[in-house]
Chain A
Amino acid sequence: MRHDTVIIGAGPGGLAAARAAKRIGKRVLLIDDNWGPGGQIWRGYSGLDIDGIDKRYSTQVSDLDLDCEQLILACGARELFLPFPGWTLPHVVGAGGLQALVKAGLKIQGKRVVVAGSGPLLLAVAANLSKAGAEVVLVAEQASWGSLVGFGVSLWRWPEKIIQAAGLATSRFRASVWPVSAEPGRVVMSDGQTLQCDYLACGFGLVPNLELAMLAGCKIESGFVSVDAMQETSVRGIYAVGELTGIGGVEKAEAEGEAAGSRTALRGNHGAFVELLRQCFALREELKSLAKPDTIVCRCEDVTLGKIAACSSKREAKLQTRCGMGACQGRICGSALEFLRGWPPDTVRQPVHPVSVQDLLKQKETANP
């Protein structure tokens, strides 16, 4: 069946877009890589499903060749992982990553967890892990108290966010602290203390999943997709919502999804909150020197920082060392290297995810029956 509106991503933005598009009478197809709706933030919540639209979950989009009048990209964000000695050990996981695993059945009861990195997500993760029975040893935020106080003071403009933040406060919180190395069962922090832990849950903020927008040729500005008042990108008929247009959380994503789905102008000003987050949780320079020459940067291909020392771009690193050429296609090391070395993103080619030969053949048969 042909659909009017195809939405990629069933998180808050994609769901809001789907509801709005359905409301104005569009035939909607909602696609998501996960097994159910909710995205990362609402992973595992019930009651999110929308009736009266077509849905395809557990479906990865590796190329765009869609026959529809409107494509809405709601691909969300991933965590930024920065390399440091020991970050490839199995007990080092993402902060959002550990939360996602717990929501998917990982037993965390009684486990000692150090939560570290940057951003408001850390407190949310720590609160959820505690609720699930984990012993949160420390929540280490790399930003300074000065930045955080500035963040807190500016929050008066968003009273609902103050209430959220207050609910997450913990005495285990420390500012201006970050992990410098990990060894099996423990982590050494920048203030010199060594902490025993079952897991180090570490993420340095969020970066948008831009691959499909870049593949489609949408204009990207300062790391995010450029959109007009109705969320349309520079490519006619392709819209972008949520974290793709600026890291701003659920309320922004829902408002943008509503605008794109209903094809009306975005309500409210969400740019100020995006800017506030960006400024207050800006990553400090010291984090650029955590990785040593023998620290692995590209986990897929086991490429160390030393091996790419002489390279001056992602392309060169790829050609010389296979850095960024593994299964994740540079999603982890590429984002890290944008911060560590200031390297701009490389071009994106399809398939944007590894695809089995069988699936490629199926696609060819559909294209040339």
Chain B
Amino acid sequence: MPRIKLNGTLYDVPAQTSVAAALMNACFTARQSIEGEARGPLCGMGICFECRVTVDGIAYERGCQLQVRDGMEVTTDAA
């Protein structure tokens, strides 16, 4: 089972899980809107960009279009 780091905490997440689903399972929201609202995934299919997070240092990755990989490090805006 891939072990990933979400906002600094380690989680064992079943393979094939999307980063967006992993975040929701761990009770994290994704991005912070420009007015400071916490946003979570909306469309689940790569359209709305509400689930964007920083993955392994790369910003603006859509969590719903990305599967977890062992050693992956995900940070959200609020962290």
* B74 partner residues in chain A, CB cutoff 8 A: none
* A107 partner residues in chain B, CB cutoff 8 A: 25
A105 to B12: give the CA distance in the assembly, Å: 13
Q: Are B24 and A106 in contact (CB under 8 A)?
A: yes
Q: Are A78 and B29 in contact (CB under 8 A)?
A: no
Q: Chain A at the B interface: mostly helix, strand, loop or mixed?
A: loop
A105 to B66: give the CA distance in the assembly, Å: 12
- Which of B13, B14, B39, B41 is the one whose CB lies under 8 Å from A97? B41
A62 at the interface (CB under 8 A from B): no
Q: Are B65 and A93 in contact (CB under 8 A)?
A: no
> Knowing A81-B42, A88-B39, A106-B25 touch, does A331 contact B20 (C-beta < 8 A)?
no
> Knowing A101-B18, A104-B18, A299-B48 touch, does A88 contact B33 (C-beta < 8 A)?
yes
A206 to B30: give the CA distance in the assembly, Å: 24
A40 to B48: give the CA distance in the assembly, Å: 15
A2 to B13: give the CA distance in the assembly, Å: 39
Q: Are A326 and B49 in contact (CB under 8 A)?
A: yes
A354 to B46: give the CA distance in the assembly, Å: 12
A312 at the interface (CB under 8 A from B): no
A285 to B68: give the CA distance in the assembly, Å: 42
Q: Are B65 and A33 in contact (CB under 8 A)?
A: yes
> Knowing A90-B29, A326-B49 touch, does A35 contact B65 (C-beta < 8 A)?
yes
Residue of A nearest to B31 (CB): A327
A356 to B16: give the CA distance in the assembly, Å: 25
- Which of B41, B48, B65 is the one whose CB lies under 8 Å from A331? B48
Residue of B nearest to A104 (CB): B18
- Which of A101, A301, A327, A332 is the one whose CB lies under 8 Å from B20? A101
Q: Are B52 and A97 in contact (CB under 8 A)?
A: no
* A12 partner residues in chain B, CB cutoff 8 A: none
- Which of A299, A301, A356 is the one whose CB lies under 8 Å from B50? A299
A328 at the interface (CB under 8 A from B): yes
CB of A119, distance to nearest CB on chain B (Å): 15
Q: Which of the four size classes fits the interface of chain A?
A: 35 or more
A215 at the interface (CB under 8 A from B): no
Q: Are A88 and B67 in contact (CB under 8 A)?
A: no
CB of A9, distance to nearest CB on chain B (Å): 12
A-B contact count (CB 8 A): 107
Q: Are A299 and B21 in contact (CB under 8 A)?
A: no
A367 to B39: give the CA distance in the assembly, Å: 38
A335 to B21: give the CA distance in the assembly, Å: 25
Q: Are B39 and A90 in contact (CB under 8 A)?
A: yes
B47 at the interface (CB under 8 A from A): yes
CB of A268, distance to nearest CB on chain B (Å): 28
B10-43: CB near A (< 8 Å → 1, else 0) gives 0001101110111011000100011101111111
* B48 partner residues in chain A, CB cutoff 8 A: 81, 299, 328, 331-332
A100 at the interface (CB under 8 A from B): yes
> Interface centre among A81, A106, A302, A331, by most B CB within 10 Å?
A106
CB of A203, distance to nearest CB on chain B (Å): 9
A326 to B47: give the CA distance in the assembly, Å: 12
Q: Are A94 and B17 in contact (CB under 8 A)?
A: no
Residue of B nearest to A209 (CB): B47
A331 to B48: give the CA distance in the assembly, Å: 7
The 7 closest A-B pairs by CB, nearest first: A105-B17, A90-B40, A100-B44, A97-B44, A104-B18, A327-B49, A105-B21
Question: What are 29 residue pairs bridging A and B, where the CB atoms are less than 8 Å apart in the complex?
Answer: A33-B46, A35-B65, A79-B43, A88-B33, A90-B38, A90-B39, A92-B42, A94-B43, A96-B43, A97-B42, A97-B43, A100-B64, A101-B18, A101-B21, A101-B41, A101-B64, A104-B16, A104-B64, A105-B16, A105-B25, A106-B21, A107-B25, A299-B48, A299-B50, A302-B37, A328-B49, A332-B42, A332-B47, A332-B48
